[in-house]
A and B are shown apart, each in its own frame.
Chain A
Amino acid sequence: MPWDRNQMAARAADELEDGMYVNLGIGIPTLVANYVGDKDITLQSENGMLGMGPFPFEGEEDPDLINAGKQTITELSRTAYFDSATSFAMIRGGKIAAAILGAMEVDEKGDLANWMIPGKLVKGMGGAMDLVAGVGRVIVVMDHTNKHGDSKVLKECTLPLTGQGVVDRIITNLGVLDVVEGGLRIVELADGVSEDEMRAATEATIVA
């Protein structure tokens, strides 16, 4: 059985090590926070916060305390606030160990597309381009194929890029792939997924 959303998030959480400062994107990446267990992980929210806590209890929402997805959240004992320029200085400056992000397409050179579909409503890249260019390690979590069954793991991205050569690891419902010299290397297969199935669903070159 391919992994479901929660299993993908749990697998992504395995990438995180004690002491890391991490930025989680919207969607499945947000679920990663539920699976970090006892690890000492500090979550960054790029609108100006380190040490992001869970959603507030009903009635305790604070309009001055939101995450980058504009959702009301809470602070922790370790929380620090700062302005947007400082926030992106720590992102661009490589202080954030990893970003876990969703994607529309990824390719074998590590190019990532996750902000724009030509002809469709463009909302903007937000902080995604800064994150992928700046953080230590970029981990993409997404379904391996789109709703038409076409591979999202490509030889070359067709959509406008968010970053070029920025992706380190891809976690999908079928397994885990690393971006290496010459293509992608299979690191792990989801339980019950064969290598043939992984290869069939992947347009990108898979190297041994």
Chain B
Amino acid sequence: MKKIYANASEALDGVISDGKLIAAGGFGLCGIPELLLEAIKASGAKDLTFASNNAGVDDFGIGILLQTRQVKKMISSYVGENAEFMRQYLSGELELEFNPQGTLAERMRAGGAGIPGFYTKTGVGTVIAEGKEHKDFNGETYIMEEGIFADLAIVKAWKADETGNLVFRKTARNFNVPAATCGKVCVVEVEEIVPTGSLDPDSIHLPGIYVHRIIQGSHEKRIEQRTTRKKEDA
């Protein structure tokens, strides 16, 4: 089966529409599926729910879909870098469900692994635990969190082979792996598609079974906080 598509819009054809739950990879602006987000903007699909650790910045990442009011709800752990997000949230236009970062990652992982719920100590005794089932194991209290089963996963990898085996680069792996696994359909954008057989099978980060559609493109890869030291300080 052919997994390689010509561009982001073609790769999203038939899998993006109003009201979808989308799991997106990335941490801050690192490793975000920037080309697929642009294509979702162009598709005009609205009332979208995003499970994504962050919400981008005003003019990059998920932020571009907030400007066009295509997002109904965010499931995120940290949204501090986006003024338009805050404006829509405070005015009630946008729903927000805060998840602790590890709980969000595990909810995606669980969804991808066919696990509808799990117990965690994270958030016990906080607002996160309100309304959730509590259960004691070995004298400690845990709360139940639910797996995320997304309609669509959009992720960014470094390299893919033609069968969808993926390799990520450095900390750009982050949420891309759990997000990819929890989507009914997973669309991946990469910097380079390499011939099948050229990736070391022992070094595949995500096997192609999770990957349905692939595009190659050039990425801006914006840096959110450029921190450096001077050579003479070393």
Is B24 engaged at the interface, CB distance under 8 Å to the other chain?
A: no
Cα distance A16–B226 in the bound complex, in angstroms: 29
Is A123 engaged at the interface, CB distance under 8 Å to the other chain?
A: yes
Q: Which residue of chain A has the shortest Cβ distance to B234 in the bound complex?
A: A57
Is B121 engaged at the interface, CB distance under 8 Å to the other chain?
A: yes
A64 touching B101 by the CB < 8 A rule?
Answer: no
A57 touching B231 by the CB < 8 A rule?
Answer: yes
A71 touching B171 by the CB < 8 A rule?
Answer: no
Is A117 engaged at the interface, CB distance under 8 Å to the other chain?
A: no
Task: Please give, as numbers and ranges, the residues of chain B lying within 8 Å of A158 by CB-CB distance.
Answer: none
B27 touching A123 by the CB < 8 A rule?
Answer: no
Is A56 engaged at the interface, CB distance under 8 Å to the other chain?
A: yes
Cα distance A31–B221 in the bound complex, in angstroms: 28
B169 touching A127 by the CB < 8 A rule?
Answer: no
- Among B108, B172, B176, max chain A CB count under 10 A is at B172
A75 touching B170 by the CB < 8 A rule?
Answer: yes
Pick from B28, B101, B177: contact of A88, CB under 8 Å = B101
B228 touching A163 by the CB < 8 A rule?
Answer: no
Chain B 95-149 residues near chain A, CB threshold 8 A: 98, 100-103, 105-106, 108-109, 120-128
Is A85 engaged at the interface, CB distance under 8 Å to the other chain?
A: yes
**Interchain nearest-CB distance for A181 vs B (Å):** 17
Pick from B124, B178, B231: contact of A133, CB under 8 Å = B124
Task: Please give, as numbers and ranges, the residues of chain B lying within 8 Å of A128 by CB-CB distance.
Answer: 100
Is A126 engaged at the interface, CB distance under 8 Å to the other chain?
A: yes
Is B211 engaged at the interface, CB distance under 8 Å to the other chain?
A: no
A88 touching B102 by the CB < 8 A rule?
Answer: yes
Also in contact, A84 and B227, with CB within 8 A (given A64-B171, A65-B170, A133-B123): no
Is B77 engaged at the interface, CB distance under 8 Å to the other chain?
A: yes
A130 touching B173 by the CB < 8 A rule?
Answer: no
A84 touching B230 by the CB < 8 A rule?
Answer: no
Task: Please give, as numbers and ranges, the residues of chain B lying within 8 Å of A85 by CB-CB distance.
Answer: 105-106, 108-109, 177-178
A70 touching B175 by the CB < 8 A rule?
Answer: no
Pick from B101, B176, B223: contact of A63, CB under 8 Å = B223
Cα distance A82–B106 in the bound complex, in angstroms: 14
Is B165 engaged at the interface, CB distance under 8 Å to the other chain?
A: no
Is A111 engaged at the interface, CB distance under 8 Å to the other chain?
A: yes
The bracket for how many chain B residues form the interface is 35 or more
Task: Please give, as numbers and ranges, the residues of chain B lying within 8 Å of A165 by CB-CB distance.
Answer: 125
Total count of chain A residues near the partner, CB < 8 A: 55
Task: Please give, as numbers and ranges, the residues of chain B lying within 8 Å of A72 by CB-CB distance.
Answer: 223, 225-228
Cα distance A87–B102 in the bound complex, in angstroms: 8
B122 touching A130 by the CB < 8 A rule?
Answer: yes
Also in contact, A63 and B30, with CB within 8 A (given A124-B76, A129-B100): yes
Is B163 engaged at the interface, CB distance under 8 Å to the other chain?
A: no
Which of A44-52, A171-179, A186-194, A200-208 forms part of the interface with chain B?
A: A44-52
Is A62 engaged at the interface, CB distance under 8 Å to the other chain?
A: yes
**Interchain nearest-CB distance for A24 vs B (Å):** 15
Cα distance A60–B226 in the bound complex, in angstroms: 10
Is B49 engaged at the interface, CB distance under 8 Å to the other chain?
A: no
Q: Which residue of chain B has the shortest Cβ distance to A129 in the bound complex?
A: B100
Pick from A48, A111, A129, A163: contact of B171, CB under 8 Å = A48
Task: Please give, as numbers and ranges, the residues of chain B lying within 8 Å of A145 by CB-CB distance.
Answer: none
A124 touching B122 by the CB < 8 A rule?
Answer: no
Is A20 engaged at the interface, CB distance under 8 Å to the other chain?
A: no
Is A81 engaged at the interface, CB distance under 8 Å to the other chain?
A: yes
**Interchain nearest-CB distance for A173 vs B (Å):** 26
Pick from A70, A83, A125: contact of B176, CB under 8 Å = A83
List 13 other contacts, CB 8 Å, given A87-B105, A129-B126, A133-B124: A47-B30, A57-B230, A60-B228, A64-B31, A71-B227, A72-B225, A72-B227, A83-B174, A84-B177, A125-B101, A129-B128, A160-B126, A161-B125
The 4 closest A-B pairs by CB, nearest first: A88-B102, A164-B125, A123-B80, A130-B102
Q: What are 8 A-B contacts with C-beta separation under 8 Å?
A: A57-B230, A57-B231, A64-B172, A64-B221, A84-B53, A85-B177, A89-B106, A160-B126
